Amino acid sequence: MSAVLQIARAFLATGVQPEWTVIFAFWDGEEKGLLGSKYFTMNFPGISQVKAYLNFDMIGRNNKADMPEHVVYFYTEAYPVFGDWLKNDILSYGLNLKPDYRPWDRPVGGSDNASFAVLDIPVIWYHTDGHPDYHMPGDKTEKINWDKVVNITKASFLNMWNLANRKEIEQ
């Protein structure tokens, strides 16, 4: 949630109106069958105009202590430019991330990106792999890798800025 709020704040801070409307939304009920994101995709009257969807899943934790910059970067395979954007932004902005790039034909599964992917809406999905505390009481704030959260949030803002200011997304 904090990443989405910071990205919205960054959009406002630019003082520039993007070419496309950007919707910031929070879903509920993912674990109960993607209830929030499914409801949105089934009821939003402009769903056919949605260019892409960004998803964040557990972006603050480390799966392995020796890999603090690790992030899994899923994206719709038909849009290799999504991978290019992240590679270029890491170099251009010195982002401290070591992505595991995972282009995926139709990134579906148990996360909210699936509600969009099944409608052939391109997806970018940040994830840091599971960890032993997933959905457990031991998942405490002090275990968050704040540098990773900040770098993923910056990368995500840049992804969204690219999406919001392009007439078409290159395939």
Which positions are catalytic? 30
DSSP assignment of 93-152 equals HT---EEEEEEESS--SSSTHHHHHTTT--EEEEE----TTTTSTT--GGG--HHHHHHH
Classify residue 70 by burial, with Cβ atoms within 10 Å: 0-12, 13-18, 19+: middle
C-alpha pair distances (Å), 92 with each of 89, 155, 158: 5, 11, 11
> Under DSSP, is residue 21 helix (H, G, I), strand (E, B) or coil?
coil
